[in-house]
Amino acid sequence: MTNKETIHSSIKKKEAAKLLKCDENSIKEKTLEEILADRSQYPIESDGWEYLNMIKSEVLQKQKPSTAEKILYFKEADLESIPWGFSKVNKLPFIDYGIEERSLLEYHPSQRHPIPYVIVRYEEEYFFILRGAGVGESRLAGRKGLLGGHVGEIDAVPGDIERSIENGLWRELEEEAGIKAEMVKKLEMKGIIKSNDDVDSDHLGVVYEIELNHKNIQSKEDELTGIWMTKGELKHHFDALESWSKIVVSNLVLSN
């Protein structure tokens, strides 16, 4: 039984309508922001909260069908040992993970999705992408950022979170920029980003750096535009970077 089916079976529509003083159809007519505001009136993961989270999931999937994909997630309580901000590390601690539909996990305060976030370098140049309005994560549209994305169910290796995330990393590199393993001279984990700023609150950034043996790559997706930049150019474009890119560039690129 899926999470949605469990919610439907544990909260009958009649009981939910009484609880929320509103029928399901009228709730679905609300905006995402209104549904989230209604959900915030209930204790996290209580029956009312879970019911509205299920409605939010359905609304999100209609707006962004890609959020129907199943992805890996961590419980926020299992990440307490990871400090806030940016931490330089070359290995992840063992963290148990679950798998669920992305639409249920987004805007969920007690869960966080791992995101491999990759510095792509060739000699003294760095590869960034400009995200268009139709990108999967609409909250990042219009910003320049590094390559990366969610770790899907297809990437999961039972009991091995590091390998699972690396599987997602290689898949995203090929999908977004056509980068394959034979093009990479070196791959290193560089750190972890844990933040609660806007879209960051849904995610845990796992930062890697790869060094390419040539720079003949370009964006493979219509809503992404590839850009190579030197350190000097990065300083000029710094204000246009998404929040994680600012953290990575400050701590790992411009500081060297």
The model's pLDDT over 162-214, given as tens digits with 9 standing for 90+, comes to 999 999 999 999 988 999 999 999 999 999 999 988 778 899 999 999 999 99
- Domain shared by 117 and 159, yes or no: yes
Report the C-alpha gap between 71 and 64 in whole angstroms.
Answer: 15
- Domain shared by 27 and 75, yes or no: no
Instruction: Supply the pLDDT for residue 251.
Output: 95
- Domain shared by 39 and 159, yes or no: no
Instruction: Supply the pLDDT for residue 12.
Output: 46
Rounded mean pLDDT, 82-100: 93
Domain end, chosen from 19, 44, 63, is at: 63
Instruction: Supply the pLDDT for residue 237.
Output: 86
Let me know: does 52 contact 27? Beta carbons within 8 Å: yes
- Domain shared by 159 and 49, yes or no: no
- Domain shared by 122 and 199, yes or no: yes
Res. 11: pLDDT tops 80: no
Q: Can you give the residue range of the structural domain that contains 113?
A: 70-253
Instruction: Supply the pLDDT for residue 199.
Output: 77
Let me know: does 63 contact 32? Beta carbons within 8 Å: yes
Report the C-alpha gap between 136 and 61 in whole angstroms.
Answer: 11
Rounded mean pLDDT, 114-128: 95
Res. 91: pLDDT tops 80: yes
- Domain shared by 43 and 124, yes or no: no
- Domain shared by 43 and 82, yes or no: no
Sequence-distant (6+) residues with CB within 8 A of 238 are: 246, 249
- Give tens-digit pLDDT for 22-48: 666 777 788 999 999 999 999 999 988
- Domain shared by 58 and 103, yes or no: no
Rounded mean pLDDT, 81-87: 94
Rounded mean pLDDT, 64-87: 95
Rounded mean pLDDT, 226-245: 90
- Domain shared by 17 and 133, yes or no: no
HSE-up of residue 49 (Cα within 13 Å, Cβ side):
12
- Domain shared by 92 and 142, yes or no: yes
Q: Check which CATH number belongs to the domain holding 156 and give it.
A: 3.90.79.10
Number of domains in the chain: 2
- Domain shared by 48 and 126, yes or no: no
- Domain shared by 10 and 117, yes or no: no
Q: What percent of the chain has pLDDT over 90?
A: 64
Instruction: Supply the pLDDT for residue 26.
Output: 78
